[in-house]
Chains A and B, each alone.
Chain A
């Protein structure tokens, strides 16, 4: 099958952005909760916006806020950067798996666009690539919209922390994992996926029980990739 050229169009960006709409409630709830946490920890409004929009990696921001203390010492600063890196280690693998997709885009476009890389737009882009889509606006548009929604969601959370007192009561905490589970379904093709996912699941579970934290994403993903790579048809 000849490879189609990778293109970029406004239409693709809009389509990518629209595909994120079902997850908006989850993103908004999570962003608002971050705003509330930041306000409780004594961050100023500007500090909260800076951290939320520049780091742009939900779970790692929460963990960094756990470490944070006022006044901020050098030791705390290093710890905050360290835990951020540990939680975001999976980005290495996510980015690696985008190579076949974005590798055909000029570097001056792909490297800035990688700043917007999150689990969500990565997953959307890959599942569309699997269906034959070659307009990388899917990745760019979904990344931009998620960044925008995430950047705005923190504001109501910062000022009205009790707005969503209990996101769990509305089932908002399962929105993102449910979306991931749904996107997993079309990825299943046969034996290779079964073996790879089993390997990932076993290793991730073991890591979670033994080490805890976010390491299980990294170890599980590597185990699954190796299982997939070494399972010959």
Chain B
């Protein structure tokens, strides 16, 4: 494309605005609904279980897609975290393990 850097296609801007609005509706929607539901002990337990369940469901497909190397790196991160309870060390160890594994051709 030969357009100037600071030009924008009107259709594209419309698409971006729609995407942003839809995403905001999702960001605020769940929160809004929960403010209108009675929080019974069961709902509370469900809400408390959500964070862990979301993390597991987010990370597992990444491992399935990334293969052995990614899986090993996450084992490293978890092991470091269990012992040291310092997120930044866990992240650094995992990235270093990934770089090492890839350099080794895995």
On A, residues with C-beta under 8 Å from B are: 19, 21-23, 25-26, 42-47, 50-51, 54-57, 60, 64, 70-73, 76-77, 80-81, 84-85, 88-100, 102-103, 110-111, 114-115, 117, 119, 122-123, 126-127, 168-175, 177-188, 192-193, 196-197, 199-201, 203-205, 208-209, 216-231
Contact = CB atoms under 8 A, between A and B. Distances in A.
Contacts of B68: none
Given A70-B1, A85-B26, A208-B60, A51 B102 contact: no
A229 B94 contact: no
B30 A47 contact: no
Contacts of B85: 185-186
B54 A94 contact: yes
A85 to B, nearest CB: 5
Interface in B42-90: 42-64, 66, 70, 73-74, 76-78, 80-82, 85, 87-88, 90
A119 B49 contact: no
B91 A97 contact: no
A183 B29 CA distance: 25
A114 B31 contact: yes
Contacts, number: 311
A85 B74 contact: no
Interface of B: 1, 3-9, 11-20, 22-24, 26-35, 39, 42-64, 66, 70, 73-74, 76-78, 80-82, 85, 87-88, 90-92, 94-100, 102-103
B44 to A, nearest CB: 8
Contacts of A168: 98, 102
Given A91-B23, A184-B59, 14 more contacts: A46-B6, A50-B13, A81-B18, A88-B26, A96-B34, A171-B100, A177-B58, A178-B90, A181-B77, A192-B45, A197-B56, A200-B53, A221-B50, A229-B43
Nearest to A107: B35
Contacts of B98: 168, 171, 173-174
A216 B26 contact: no
B15 A80 contact: yes
Contacts of A187: 51-52, 55
7 nearest A-B residue pairs (beta carbon): A224-B53, A228-B49, A220-B57, A171-B98, A229-B46, A178-B94, A22-B88
